Structure 1
């Protein structure tokens, strides 16, 4: 039973309960953690206490109600590693306190009581509905913590009712915008509408940046979080650049050969009315080791289930519309000769690197100075340089080795990712040859070299900190629906103050279903690869987890090569026999158990990165 302090000396108590609060650790290697506290709300203050068995209750914080500017539910899909999963926020002075309740009823009780107690304060007009994490607001991506909120704040909870649907409009009106639920959503306010994964909804109002008003198939109207829905793509393909009407097989091959870009593709009319073909250009290896150009043609097949029509190129990957099918295969070959990388059209000239907003990402060559060669990367040389008085690492793209499209993909991946445990991309240089990628400079270089050069000098705290750094970055990738596919110590870099960051996203892919099936014949790092990658070429966040287990083994082995006395074929035999890497001498049993958990045979038996991060953080707190 929880023992509460004597509250008789306080003003009238409104609420008291054991909740969790989020706090930031002071040490560099620690992520946010979650501490159990006794919260007390009275007529003057919100106070929280620490209760330790056999010791006196200690007050850990106190917020005057008059200083509170916003109290609201936090709506987020961020994994919460503590037992209480229902967060709310209290904004006061220049700070944000995140509190976690055991259930939604408890959360609503606290939010309503705090709103009522602070309704006469000088309150925010707008608030941030999602967390402040990793130096930015998840809801609007502003990087200033005190930035004005992005959603209207209703201090009395009287959120305006959603618009009433026009009864004269039918659900099938062509002007309706249709969205599809990406996941289930349970309402937390009276004006919210429940979402059911994969069901369709009609948009009523999309003016609010984070919450849209939608109507379900039964005519019910309410608000839903934008992060839980996606607009449905219609089956009208005429408007898409990749569709080439009235192009026959011979013309398609001529256009794709002339473009000469691996993964170049188009969708065209087949010789049979109402049937479409995807034509793809790739270079395939011959018996002599040379690569030869080839155009493959895949007919889009139709599968009918009653009135439901589905489309597919590979039988296991079916979609309700052709645009959704194309979008999927742009990220995942799934049995095709290659991914659909580069759209080719007879009527449209594709602008060079059109997805890169030049005003933000393009660096003028004259602004960049190269000083010394740092090494050779997968695609070319890596140089140390300076840009606007900032030290940078410059990755050059060897001519003929990496296509313009491959360059574009790597740059786009890095543009979408922003985290303090990922090496930051500053910009690109496309106005000269070779093409440059300009990155954050990491003074201590490759982690493998760093470990080997300082072998014997690392403390347990430092080694665990390295694993924590990388687990934080990988947990971010996991929640952002990215997989790395080549996680290893050689692909991590070390900063001047010994922070370890994940680098080399040349193999990273954005995945729509947390799975990536590689093209036939693709190379992969056997010693870091999971059984499903070795056998079937299937990547997921759980195959990254396997690689992270090997990464931890590298750290605690101070840079040794995994299975260093065995060939790749012998490594495969070892894994098939159920054998795993042995515990390194410096590795505590608790950390080795996490490695073993990461090396479970079945992907579904492995932990998520969010859970690994939590377990590692708990180990750091142990004496």
Structure 2
């Protein structure tokens, strides 16, 4: 009698690292659970599936959700574990429903096995269990295992039951992505789960309460206020009674790349996104025009503009395309409306930059301390505080590009990022008022102090940058221009990440730009070949930054042209080991320079590895 298939589907498997020297990687596999085995295969177009692993159900001793505070390094973010024989198999599901379905099925099929009494609810990582800090991989667990439940992990209830005890007048928000707490007062978020909004007075950090009654701070950028999918009248970008011709006139008069609106289509119940672009036409010249996209709805009540990107509500769809073009001719940058927005207090019109505006007369400008492609940096004073004032150079950066950098900086708060204090956008030239870093950019500092910096200082510099980048990674930001020249050094030699002119907020850890310029000598192969940016391309750049630090400010590939650098990368060649770097540190650099992005570490893992090297 053949075994009966219970479940099958595509998920991601983390390597089990059965040998001490085996690498850590994440592979997409097709899993099949039947009444006898759990099997997983590699599926490649045009080829037969290749069986990669098979676990007899009778050998499984524990199946449980993994609850962790570390960023998940693959694009499926919902892990669970299967403990069999003496090995832990970590599997990553695409969403929580799929994860629960597999865990329930596996528990049901293995509940009469010889099971563990306790299990580890967190990952084995860096040679220890993150939950109990034990350093023996087969050490007894620290949480009681329940074969028919979910251990100590409180699972989300269905939406209908989840909020039945709450006042219906309370404001609800939905998490757009997972969020791992940075500080003790932060609250973790789980993507697609609902929370009660307690306080939204701060422009960037809101206070929310979860279903278990816990309250804490979360970034505003992680949340979307809950509204009915058809109730879009509250949003600035919606124009109800406007024709196609009127929309085109309004957007053409606005004349800014990515200016957009959502309007009613000629077909009842259908909505259209109209967006202005100056993208070059077939002749290569700028071609100002308005493109129109129907918002399409699937049978399962999902909305999309491009097939791959499906959303439960129209506000979620617009929010996504405001950060990623993803099939559109341009990103949705600036909402345009013909309505008098001041008459409706519920319309979402707030611009974070406006709330950071400072009076130009309060600024006292001093000497120039730096310059770059897009602006000058002056020493200054503001309200008795020493500040750095970044002023845009006329013609080098558009007003919208300058404001975009300001918007990004208003959303980021971390001790290893250069902090924004305020903006001046009401007069020309516009400027950013930022934290002053006395020792200037990292590359200049390294050259100035060449031969006088200890190995501990060099390692601490790399640690500082990795900490700032781990925060960006956990906040779904990619920097896109990480290098020693774009990090600054304080008077006490603390290094902070700066220059967010190319940074992007992404909802799926991937950003593709057809018009981006990038520094070839710091760029990953997928950026050079396909203009494809992600946190893993930032990791590549971080490896080059480490090389800069341990070469005390030398320029990478200093005697090679960009073309020669590309040719050497295509041959698999990498930068040579710096004289001041240990073999272990160079292995970390080489790990950052893996050809396949998924084979590179996350910043969270790099931070952990560097921290372990700094321990006495």
Bin the TM-score by the shorter chain. Answer: 0.5 to 0.7
CA distance 1:577–1:364, change in 2 (3 Å) = same
1:517 is matched with 512
Deviation track 1:259-314 (CA, whole Å, cap 9, x = no partner) reads: 1222211112333433322222233357998755332222323343xxx1322222
The question of whether the paired residues in 2 share the 8 Å contact of 1:488 and 1:547 is answered with yes
1:457 CA drift (Å)? 3.1
CA distance 1:594–1:386, change in 2 (3 Å) = same
* Partners of 1:433 and 1:557 in 2: CA distance: 40
More deviation in 238-247 or 347-356? 347-356
1:434 CA drift (Å)? 1.6
CA distance 1:476–1:265, change in 2 (3 Å) = same
Which of 607, 611, 617 in structure 1 is aligned with 2:605? 611
DSSP-derived class of the 2:302 partner? strand
1:438 is matched with 433
The question of whether the paired residues in 2 share the 8 Å contact of 1:557 and 1:585 is answered with yes
User: What value does the CA root-mean-square deviation take over the aligned residues?
Assistant: 4.1
1:212 is matched with 210
DSSP-derived class of the 2:409 partner? helix
2:252 is matched with 257
CA distance 1:257–1:378, change in 2 (3 Å) = farther
CA distance 1:389–1:561, change in 2 (3 Å) = same
Which of 89, 103, 122 in structure 1 is aligned with 2:142? 103
2:329 is matched with 337
Structure 2 alignment gaps of length 5 or more: 1-120, 134-139, 146-156, 181-187, 200-205
Which of 352, 359, 364 in structure 2 is aligned with 1:356? 352
CA distance 1:374–1:209, change in 2 (3 Å) = closer
1:395 CA drift (Å)? 0.8
* Partners of 2:437 and 2:543 in 1: CA distance: 24
1:83 is matched with 128
Query: Quick check: 1:540 aligned with 2:534?
Result: yes
Q: What is the number of residues matched between the two proteins?
A: 453
* Partners of 1:338 and 1:353 in 2: CA distance: 21
1:235 is matched with 229
* Partners of 1:84 and 1:421 in 2: CA distance: 27
CA distance 1:284–1:84, change in 2 (3 Å) = same
Deviating above 4 A after TM superposition, structure 1's stretches of 4 or more consecutive aligned residues are 76-82, 173-185, 194-198, 203-210, 222-233, 285-292, 349-354
* Partners of 1:224 and 1:606 in 2: CA distance: 35
1:485 is matched with 480
CA distance 1:224–1:365, change in 2 (3 Å) = closer
1:174 CA drift (Å)? 12
* Partners of 1:78 and 1:370 in 2: CA distance: 51
* Partners of 2:438 and 2:493 in 1: CA distance: 9
DSSP-derived class of the 1:284 partner? coil
* Partners of 2:350 and 2:301 in 1: CA distance: 34
* Partners of 2:430 and 2:125 in 1: CA distance: 41
Deviation track 1:557-600 (CA, whole Å, cap 9, x = no partner) reads: 22222222333233223223222212122221111100011111
* Partners of 1:354 and 1:197 in 2: CA distance: 24
Query: TM-score, length-normalised on structure 2?
Result: 0.65
* Partners of 2:508 and 2:141 in 1: CA distance: 30
Which of 307, 317, 341 in structure 1 is aligned with 2:309? 317
Which of 294, 297, 301 in structure 1 is aligned with 2:292? 297
Query: Quick check: 1:621 aligned with 2:615?
Result: yes
- Compare CA radii of gyration and give the structure with the larger one: 1
Query: TM-score, length-normalised on structure 1?
Result: 0.64
2:271 is matched with 276
1:30 is matched with none
Deviation track 1:382-404 (CA, whole Å, cap 9, x = no partner) reads: 21111223221111123455444
Structure 1 alignment gaps of length 5 or more: 1-75, 89-100, 107-161, 186-193, 214-221
DSSP-derived class of the 2:589 partner? helix
1:346 CA drift (Å)? 1.6
* Partners of 2:397 and 2:293 in 1: CA distance: 26
1:532 CA drift (Å)? 2.4
1:408 CA drift (Å)? 3.2
* Partners of 1:599 and 1:431 in 2: CA distance: 43
1:505 is matched with 500
* Partners of 1:405 and 1:87 in 2: CA distance: 49
The question of whether the paired residues in 1 share the 8 Å contact of 2:311 and 2:317 is answered with yes
1:344 CA drift (Å)? 0.6
Deviation track 1:516-562 (CA, whole Å, cap 9, x = no partner) reads: 222x2222222222222223333222221111011111111222222
CA distance 1:77–1:223, change in 2 (3 Å) = farther
2:569 is matched with 575
DSSP-derived class of the 2:337 partner? coil
* Partners of 2:423 and 2:256 in 1: CA distance: 21
The question of whether the paired residues in 2 share the 8 Å contact of 1:182 and 1:230 is answered with no
